[in-house]
Amino acid sequence: IIFFWKYVLFLTLRGQLHHTIVQQRLERVIANPIALRVKIADVTHNLDIRRIANPTEADFQRIAKYKQVLTQLCAALK
């Protein structure tokens, strides 16, 4: 049972670390006006569900994350 809780802790910390890394990357992009515009174009392209012939639930979850990122990037553009 100790192994189980260590595994749960690992997964929790891994998720937090991933979120922190993503936020740090976004902050670097936001700090560079050219990179910001390029990233907005990139994320907008990634949001186009027509690129995926048979989207799965995982695709829709990824799209939801891209929408959050795009909102954050567009807010920084103003």
pLDDT digits (tens, 9 = 90+) for 32-77: 999 999 999 999 999 999 999 999 999 999 999 999 999 999 999 8
Per-residue CA distances from 42 to 6, 11, 54 (Å): 37, 29, 21
Question: What is d(CA 60, CA 69) in angstroms, rounded to the nearest whole number?
Answer: 14
Q: Which two tokens stand for residue 3?
A: 């192994």
- pTM here is 0.73
C-alpha 15: how far from its chain's center?
Answer: 12
Question: What is d(CA 35, CA 3) in angstroms, rounded to the nearest whole number?
Answer: 43
